[in-house]
Structure 1
Amino acid sequence: MPALKLFGRKWLVASDDIVFPCIFEVVWRVIYLIFTLIAFQRYWEFFQSNVTTDIDSVNISSSIGDNLTVSHQKNDLQYCQHIDVAFIKTYLAGINIIVALNIPLLIVMISTAARGAICDVQARRHVTPLLYLKLFLILPEIGANVMGTMWAFTSSVHCTNLDDVFSNTTLEVTTIFYWIVLSLIIFAIIIAYDPLGARKYRKIKDPNGNENDPNTHHEFMQLKVSKLWLRRFRLLFCCITKDEDGDEAFLQSAELLSNLFTGTDLVPSDMIAGSILMRVRQKKENREFRRMQMLNDMSCPRYSTDLSRIFNTQCPSWMTLKNAQHYLRFAVSSYGWPMVCAIAPCRACCGLIRKVTCCAGLRSKSNHIVDDNCCNCNEAGTRVASRVSADDVIYASFKNQVFEIPFCILADHKMKSIVLSIRGSWSLSDIFTDLAAKPEEFVAPGFPDNTYVHYGMAKCCDQILKNLEADNLLDKVMQMHPGYELVITGHSLGAGLSILVGAKLRAKYNNLKVYGFATPSGMLTREAAKFTEQFAFTVVVGDDCIARISVEAVEYLRTNILESLQSCRLPKYRVILNGFAYALLGIPSRDLEKTWYNVNEVSTQSNHSSTLLDPQIIATITNEASQLYGSSSDKTRPKLFISGKILHILKKKKSEIEKKTSPTVYEMRWAQPEDFMELKVMPRMMLDHFPQNIMHVLTKVLNERKNGSTLSVDCI
């Protein structure tokens, strides 16, 4: 950070990104040099001892040609033209000289690129001229390897020591390996190429030649970045159906990414280093917050292991962990066979084999199963996950494209309910549904006016309702099962859709209930989210990132990453190395302090005290971040929140002694949507989102409380 400027344009690398590539290159060049020097020495001795001079050679020019020398071997006669000998000597000497020059140059580049903190560009100002020199040395090296390729793999050079297998093999392997490395270098240059790099440093001028203001330049760049992302999507994801919905999803995704990254000078490695620093920063802030909480006895919502206190008064009787565990199986069932196999490969495969329908495509087409494969594997996976019979799979649609999500309708005789299960994100089409995050007006019975929802979810909700209303499907099912209640459930994207579909159907079906698991943030305006607490139960486990991800959360994370990068005192390579150590061993307490400059306070989102940045740095970064945020975020855009009555379950923090003796204990509380507006970088931020981990937590809590709680298991 900032991006490296080379050949008059910006690249998607920084001056401190070359440390690890150069270390790798030094290692292989040292090995390369050792082997080629040995081959050079052996061939030099071969030429000196076995090739005779013109005086002692036998003149056979009449039969072979001029300028030939004869070398008598033990078993054969080796003919080498003088021009071939000169060619080989030139190649071996040249390649060794070039490699020998590269090694000290690379060492200097490593030393220079490793200087200073991440934002201390001045300390690395000599990296650019060193890169020019390095690129200049590539040209003669390519020429030398062309010579080596001609000698080793063609018949144009007729001089080889057939008895020296080591030297011949070495030269062949090193030549091939160099072309592989050169291909990797070319690939890296292509990846690092920024199509808008040259425009970044140009001022836009009007027809009269006057420079436009910065806002005009920013709008121009934002439009260009949006078009660039749109071209990338259409090229990389050409398999997605090209229709009006697909184009709209591509366009909104491109606009979202251009809004997030236009105006920053970050490169991909900065995002990696920034995420590692954010993990350290958030752990430090959490530790400081807990310490202040203990000292001041702060009156804030506490997590508790006392389930009787949590479930006795603050929620309807149907919002229980037992019910959540039961309906989580139905939420998983809509994923079909892939999720079932991912959760339990061996057991699931055995169950699927017994339930699949061989050659189903050759039999009469079933009206209640849509877009399944030839063996109805998805329908079999639905039955395995939900533990229902084939007759209880009333309807299942596995059709999946942009703004259209698979779902199924199942009969749950145990709970006397008809379950509508909606699948979460699982395909490329679903990713673009997620990225279509523009607020869209939404109307549902009981919702306040001016309610806005996530655009992609609104479109999917409309499509699901359209499919359900096509043949009055739900009405017929409910008439076939009198006395049954309608329950809607889903995981991830499916959880958000469950709440929206439930809001639309709630007026028609009394006692409708929604169970959402890992419900995404950024789906409903605050007043509407409050209203959904009446009929929707949302379960969030641990540090689930999807429950916290929204446009506002990503923008805030980007701003925090900028702050963390500027306040870090370590070079980038140290930060990345520390990141690997953190993943394996955790973050040591000493790194909470030594990572940052020696300052006293930092501004945080809650105006709490911390120890990351000094006030002067805060003022500078806050001004830059506010300008950046204002440029990429529409001030009139409504803020969207997670929905439903949210039960947040966390693993209880334990002391060092407790970690060795006591088992894992979970605590929970009823959370508010505002608690999930910050995207946290945590080790389990993805793992806590997976349904098998949610099931594990619910099962463990229920097993622990089966004998120890004053409430029955059915009440919790």
Structure 2
Amino acid sequence: MPALVLFNRKWRIGSDDFVLPAAWSASIRCLVLIVAVTVYITEHSFHECPGGRILAIFMIGLAVLLSITILLEFFIAILSAQGSILNPGPRKFLPFVLYISEDLPLFVLGALLHRFGGGWLLFGPSIKHEEELRERSGSHTARHLRGVAKANWKKRCQWLCCCAGKDDNLEAAYTEAAEILSQLFGTLDVVPSDVAAGFVLMQLEQQRRICRGESLAHHRFSLPSELLQRTSPLVDVIDPVVYYFKYSAAIYGWPFFMETNLCCGSCQLFPICRCFTCTGGTENDNCCQCNTAAVVKSLGVDEDDVIFLSFHNKIFEIPFMVVIDRERKTIVVAIRGSLSLKDALTDVTAEAERLDITGRTDIYAHRGMVNTAKFVHNKIKELQLLEEAKRIEPDFEVVITGHSLGAGTAILTSMMLKEEWPEIKCYVYSSPFGLLNDEGVHFTKDFVISVVVGLDIIPRLSILTLNDLKDQIVEVMQHSPTPKYRILLGGCWYSLCGLPKLVPNANVKSPLLGSPIKLIQEQQQQQHRRDASNVEDGSLDAHRTNNPEEIDGSDLSARSIITPSPSEMRMNIELYPGGSILWIRDADEDRPK
């Protein structure tokens, strides 16, 4: 960090990424040199052979070239090891050494790969046009730079999801994902190895806080105090929470069944699979109906009680099922979580969008899950699935469940169905943190139970927490004087042997770079709050957005403030997990289990 610049291009590697590769290459060449010199000294017979003089000249030339290359590569390794992640000054001459080294063909190969569409792995865009734009001022330039970053992220999403197939919503999902990713990471000039080193440093910093007895919780991302009160006795919710989890797991189909039955799963499914047949009420299963067989086997229900079972999967369209549970006298709607690249794009489409509920215009939710919930709700209404189940068992109540993406979708679907089915209950597992604004949490707290197990990352994941994590990683990198290769080697050691129980205090220094990244972001967030009332018919000003402390930004140039788009302002609406939260964790050693 920053990215290495060669041939007037930015590469997705840093100037401190050559320590281990150069040292390893030099070591291999040393072995080859030793073998060549040994053969030349000990084998004299080849001098007397025809053409032996030419071979001797070749051996001498090989030894000379290897010696020069080894010296250059050791020099590259030593030079690359200088400085720290955010202090590239001691490495400023590295590009010149690379130009004269034998590693140059690797970069030429990267340029050729880029010409044919494969250089996105390492090859970056030209920096000349970007530098010219940065020298200018005005909001037009800022908007243009923002558009360039968004276009780059869109290309990366398209490459990553090249196997996702064709989908009507695919282009819109790419655009929205690029919008979010460009705003999260567009201001940082980082390479993948910087991110890896930042995570190692962040883990060590958290271990230091634990050793000092400090809390790792972040006050900005706590739920509103009125939502932290216990709303029902714990004994009343534990039993259904445990029971309905099997539905949220069974909807994953045969992959989950095989994972939980490694030894004899295939033997259990084979007798009930139906090859090349159509089962009523089942959509988009494979030719042998393996998913349907896995669902029936996992739940232990009669196949006639499966009202509807769909494994149709596209952007904003998720598999789900409707099943009659005669043991608990309920009609269960189970929605699957993320299991494909299409689902990942749905997860990333995380900006806030107004949820259409009769009589409510103040509820905002995760956009991707809003669209997915609309699909499930429309499918249920179109096929009259709940009405059909009610005709069979009119006294049964409706329960909705799901895990991960399915959990967020289940909560929003239950909100859409609440008016027509007032007795509805919702039990979800690992619901994403950034799902509903506080008005939506108030709306769902009486009929939704959201289960969080231990330190599961998904219930703590949102745009705001990701942005905060990014800021914390940048901060620990700024305060670390350690070279990157030592950080990464330490991370490999810790992954094998575990973190040390006692971590010494970090050698805290002043930030090595004076780049006002965080100040610019905070000023942009303040501008977002000022302009929020002009978006969505003035309704956004009633919602809580980021509230950083006021800072004096008079020393920043006027062009640091970028006029936010409506999408950016929606991204700054604080979203929380829905319903009442049940947190299950290991008991402390000094407390009863």
| TM-score between the two structures when normalised by the length of structure 1 | 0.69
Kindly indicate whether the alpha-carbon contact (under 8 Å) linking 2:98 and 2:104 is maintained by their aligned counterparts in 1. no
**Separation in 2 of the partners of 1:627 and 1:21?**
41
Kindly indicate whether the alpha-carbon contact (under 8 Å) linking 2:209 and 2:216 is maintained by their aligned counterparts in 1. no
Within 5 Å, give how 1:9-24 maps onto structure 2: 9-24=9-24
2:252 to 335, 353, 356: 335
The gaps in structure 2 that reach 5 residues or longer are 527-561
1:23 counterpart SS class = helix
2:307 to 394, 402, 407: 394
Question: Which amino acid in structure 1 is aligned with residue 367 of structure 2?
Answer: Y
Q: Aligned pair in 2 of structure 1 residues 215, 112: CA closer, same or farther (>3 Å)?
A: farther
Q: Which residue does the alignment assign to 2:522?
A: 626
Q: Aligned pair in 2 of structure 1 residues 523, 138: CA closer, same or farther (>3 Å)?
A: closer
Kindly indicate whether the alpha-carbon contact (under 8 Å) linking 2:9 and 2:125 is maintained by their aligned counterparts in 1. no
Q: Is 2:580 aligned against 1:645?
A: yes
1:262 to 171, 182, 186: 186
2:77 to 84, 96, 110: 110
Q: Aligned pair in 2 of structure 1 residues 627, 253: CA closer, same or farther (>3 Å)?
A: same
**Separation in 1 of the partners of 2:215 and 2:292?**
52
Q: Which residue does the alignment assign to 1:418?
A: 331
Q: Which residue does the alignment assign to 2:529?
A: none
Within 5 Å, give how 1:499-648 maps onto structure 2: 499-594=411-506, 596-597=507-508, 622-626=518-522, 634-635=568-569, 637-648=572-583
**Separation in 1 of the partners of 2:142 and 2:261?**
50
Question: How far has the Cα of 1:430 moved from its partner?
Answer: 0.5
1:271 to 195, 201, 209: 195
1:195 counterpart SS class = strand
1:345 counterpart SS class = coil
Kindly indicate whether the alpha-carbon contact (under 8 Å) linking 1:3 and 1:265 is maintained by their aligned counterparts in 2. yes
1:92 to 59, 75, 79: 59
Q: Which residue does the alignment assign to 2:555?
A: none
Question: Which amino acid in structure 1 is aligned with residue 451 of structure 2?
Answer: V
Question: Which amino acid in structure 2 is aligned with residue 195 of structure 1?
Answer: P
2:342 to 423, 429, 440: 429
**Separation in 1 of the partners of 2:430 and 2:103?**
53
Q: Aligned pair in 2 of structure 1 residues 97, 396: CA closer, same or farther (>3 Å)?
A: same
Q: Is 2:282 aligned against 1:374?
A: no
1:407 to 309, 320, 345: 320
**Separation in 2 of the partners of 1:292 and 1:14?**
31
1:438 to 344, 351, 371: 351
Q: Aligned pair in 2 of structure 1 residues 188, 354: CA closer, same or farther (>3 Å)?
A: same
Question: Which amino acid in structure 2 is aligned with residue 126 of structure 1?
Answer: F
Alignment deviations for residues 650-690 of structure 1 (CA, whole Å, 9 cap, x no partner): 23455xxx8xxxxxx8x9xxxxxxxxxxxxxxxxxxxxxxx
**Separation in 2 of the partners of 1:618 and 1:195?**
25
246-255 or 229-238: which moved more? 229-238
Alignment deviations for residues 283-310 of structure 1 (CA, whole Å, 9 cap, x no partner): 33344454899xxxxxx99xxxxxxxx9
Alignment deviations for residues 462-494 of structure 1 (CA, whole Å, 9 cap, x no partner): 111121122311111122013211110000000
Q: Which residue does the alignment assign to 1:284?
A: 208
Question: How far has the Cα of 1:314 moved from its partner?
Answer: 3.6
1:385 counterpart SS class = helix
1:394 counterpart SS class = strand
1:402 counterpart SS class = coil
1:539 counterpart SS class = strand
Within 5 Å, give how 1:141-540 maps onto structure 2: 191-203=121-133, 212-213=136-137, 215-290=139-214, 314-315=231-232, 319-357=236-274, 359=275, 361=276, 363=277, 365-445=278-358, 448-540=360-452
Question: How far has the Cα of 1:372 moved from its partner?
Answer: 0.5
Alignment deviations for residues 393-448 of structure 1 (CA, whole Å, 9 cap, x no partner): 221000111110000112212111111100000001111111112322112247x4
Alignment deviations for residues 166-221 of structure 1 (CA, whole Å, 9 cap, x no partner): xxxxxxxxxxxxx9xx99xx9997632112444333336xxxxxx63164333212
**Separation in 1 of the partners of 2:455 and 2:296?**
30
Q: Aligned pair in 2 of structure 1 residues 423, 503: CA closer, same or farther (>3 Å)?
A: same
Q: Which residue does the alignment assign to 1:25?
A: 25
Q: Aligned pair in 2 of structure 1 residues 190, 254: CA closer, same or farther (>3 Å)?
A: closer
Question: Which amino acid in structure 1 is aligned with residue 2 of structure 2?
Answer: P
Kindly indicate whether the alpha-carbon contact (under 8 Å) linking 2:258 and 2:265 is maintained by their aligned counterparts in 1. yes
1:508 counterpart SS class = coil
**Separation in 1 of the partners of 2:586 and 2:497?**
19
Q: Aligned pair in 2 of structure 1 residues 187, 470: CA closer, same or farther (>3 Å)?
A: closer
Question: Which amino acid in structure 2 is aligned with residue 383 of structure 1?
Answer: V
Question: How far has the Cα of 1:575 moved from its partner?
Answer: 1.1
Q: Aligned pair in 2 of structure 1 residues 483, 190: CA closer, same or farther (>3 Å)?
A: closer
**Separation in 2 of the partners of 1:137 and 1:508?**
68
Question: How far has the Cα of 1:638 moved from its partner?
Answer: 2.1
**Separation in 1 of the partners of 2:126 and 2:446?**
50
Question: How far has the Cα of 1:373 moved from its partner?
Answer: 0.7
Question: How far has the Cα of 1:268 moved from its partner?
Answer: 1.1
Question: Which amino acid in structure 1 is aligned with residue 19 of structure 2?
Answer: V
The gaps in structure 1 that reach 5 residues or longer are 52-79, 143-178, 205-210, 294-299, 302-309, 599-612, 659-664, 668-703, 705-716
Alignment deviations for residues 671-713 of structure 1 (CA, whole Å, 9 cap, x no partner): xxxxxxxxxxxxxxxxxxxxxxxxxxxxxxxxx7xxxxxxxxx
Kindly indicate whether the alpha-carbon contact (under 8 Å) linking 2:211 and 2:502 is maintained by their aligned counterparts in 1. no
Kindly indicate whether the alpha-carbon contact (under 8 Å) linking 2:87 and 2:513 is maintained by their aligned counterparts in 1. no
Question: Which amino acid in structure 1 is aligned with residue 461 of structure 2?
Answer: I
**Separation in 1 of the partners of 2:28 and 2:408?**
51
1:399 counterpart SS class = coil
Q: Which residue does the alignment assign to 1:2?
A: 2
**Separation in 2 of the partners of 1:398 and 1:521?**
26
Alignment deviations for residues 475-532 of structure 1 (CA, whole Å, 9 cap, x no partner): 1112201321111000000000110111111122232110110001211111111221
**Separation in 2 of the partners of 1:17 and 1:187?**
24
Q: Aligned pair in 2 of structure 1 residues 220, 271: CA closer, same or farther (>3 Å)?
A: same
Q: Which residue does the alignment assign to 2:37?
A: 37
Kindly indicate whether the alpha-carbon contact (under 8 Å) linking 1:399 and 1:406 is maintained by their aligned counterparts in 2. yes
316-325 or 414-423: which moved more? 316-325
**Separation in 1 of the partners of 2:308 and 2:215?**
54
Q: Which residue does the alignment assign to 1:173?
A: none
How many pairs were matched up? 541
**Separation in 2 of the partners of 1:138 and 1:618?**
35
Within 5 Å, give how 1:65-80 maps onto structure 2: 80=50
Question: Which amino acid in structure 2 is aligned with residue 597 of structure 1?
Answer: V
Q: Aligned pair in 2 of structure 1 residues 86, 585: CA closer, same or farther (>3 Å)?
A: same
Question: Which amino acid in structure 2 is aligned with residue 283 of structure 1?
Answer: Q
**Separation in 1 of the partners of 2:200 and 2:241?**
34
Alignment deviations for residues 520-554 of structure 1 (CA, whole Å, 9 cap, x no partner): 12111111112211111011112211111111111
Question: How far has the Cα of 1:111 moved from its partner?
Answer: 1.7
Alignment deviations for residues 98-140 of structure 1 (CA, whole Å, 9 cap, x no partner): 122121222222222112222222222232222222147869x
Question: How far has the Cα of 1:622 moved from its partner?
Answer: 4.2
Q: Aligned pair in 2 of structure 1 residues 319, 397: CA closer, same or farther (>3 Å)?
A: farther
Q: Aligned pair in 2 of structure 1 residues 292, 416: CA closer, same or farther (>3 Å)?
A: closer
Alignment deviations for residues 326-377 of structure 1 (CA, whole Å, 9 cap, x no partner): 11111011110012222332243332223322x2x2x4x2231111011100
Q: Which residue does the alignment assign to 1:601?
A: none
